[in-house]
Amino acid sequence: MKHLLLPLLALSSISFGQITLTDQHFAGPAESYIFSTLTDPTIDFATTGANYTWDFSDMIPQDQRGLVTRPTSQLSGLSVLMFGSFAPVPYKASYFNETTDLPLDQASAFLPIQIDELNQFTKNAANAITSIGYELVSNGQGLGFRSDTIETRYALPMTYGNNYESRGYTNLDLNPIYDAKWRQHRHRITNVDGWGTVKTPFGQFDALRIHHVIDEFDSIYFSVQGFGMWLPIPVPLTHEYEWRSTSDKEAVMKIRTNEIGGNETVTAIEYRDNFNGLGLVESEMNVSFYPNPVINELHVSTPELASAFFIVDNSGRILSRISVSSKDQVVDVSELASGAYSLVVLFSNEYTAVKFIK
C-alpha cells in the first residue's frame, strides 16, 4: 500500500521559568493530535530535576498514531445515559477516545468473542482529570461501564513537587454479548519530579516532567457449559514518564516502561508531531470535494465519519486541524493564501489525501 511521506517542520514554544498546569492545559472534546512513535531501549528516562534540560531532539520516528477526542454527542445506546448529559455529575464525560488501557490481547485468549474497540471516558474539572469508565464494542454493539472507584489521572493545579496517589476499580459485565466479567484494579502514584526545557524533533518547550507508577491487577470470569471460573490477567508494573507544556494540550513527550524484578524496560516512546503519514496506511475510501479551485468554502463528503481533517502545505506543514462532525463537512479556507494544498482526511489509522487549489 502507498504511504504519504511529508517533511516534518519543527515548531518552537520558548518561555522561561516554572509552569503550572490547570484543566485548560488538557485535551477537550472534538480535538485531534498526531504523535510520532519509536522504540529506543537506551533512551534516558530516569534523569530529572529542577531547571533541567532534556534533549531528545535526535530521535528518529518509526511510526505515527492519531488521537481523536470525541464529544458525548456522538454516543449512542445506553452509553448516552451512562456518560452523557443525563448522567450523574461525576460521570458526565467531557469526551471519550479509543484506548489500550485494558489488556485486550491477553483477554482474547480467554474470550470466544472479538472486541473491536475499547473507548475510555474522561471528565475534566478544575481540580482533576479523571477516568470515569469504558465502552467495549463487539460486532457493532457497544457496552458502557462506569468505574465504581474513579481514578484521578491528574490532580490539579499541577506544579513541580506535587505528588498524589489514586485508585480505580471497574467491573465490566460483558452480558449480553457473552457470559463473562472483567475486573480492573488500578493504583496510581504520581510525582511531578522535574521542570525545565524539553527538546524533541517537533520543537522546544518549557515543561513539567511527570512520573506515574501504575500497578494494575486484572481478572476475568467466563462460563463454559455452565461452569464458571475467575482467571488472573498478568499486567506488569508500568511507569509513564511524560513532559507537559502549557502550549499544548497533550504530552509533548512520553516514555513508557514495564518493571519486572526491579528493572525497567522501555516499551513505548512518542512525541507530538506534524503529520507525515509514516506508518499510516493510505485508505481506499473515496473522498469527494468541490469546488476546485476554491475561494472561501471547500465542501467535503466522506463515505463514513472521518476522525479529523488536516490542511497541509507543499512543505508538509500542518496549517490547521479541523474537527469533523458530519460526513458532509464545509471547510473554511478563506484565510489561506493562494497556492496548492493537500486536505488530509484521517480515518483512525488510515488516511486519504486530496489536492486542491486556492
Q: In this structure, how many other beta carbons lie within 10 angstroms of the beta carbon of residue 150?
A: 19
| Region(s) of the chain under CATH 2.60.40.1930 | 283-357
Q: For 224, list phi and psi in degrees, rounded to 5.
A: -130, 115
| Confidence at residue 299, expressed as pLDDT on a 0 to 100 scale | 96
Half-sphere exposure of residue 124: CA atoms within 13 angstroms, side-chain side:
15
Cα(16)–Cα(25) distance, rounded to whole angstroms? 17
pLDDT of residue 353: 86
- Residues 77-136 pLDDT 10s: 788 999 999 999 999 999 999 887 776 666 666 666 677 778 999 999 999 999 999 998
pLDDT for res 220 = 87
Q: In which residue ranges of the chain is pLDDT below 50?
A: 1-15
C-alpha cell at 341: 494544498
What digits encode the pLDDT tens for the residues 19-54? 999 999 999 998 878 899 999 999 999 999 999 999
* Cβ proximity of 21 and 157 under 8 Å: yes
Among candidate residues 4, 1, 3, 9, the one with its CA nearest the CA of residue 316 = 9
Q: What stretch of H or E contains 96?
A: strand 95-98
Q: In this predicted structure, what is the pLDDT of residue 109?
A: 61
CATH architecture of residue range(s) 283-357: Sandwich (2.60)
* pTM, two decimal places: 0.79
CB 329 within 8 A of CB 307: no
Amino acid at 58: D
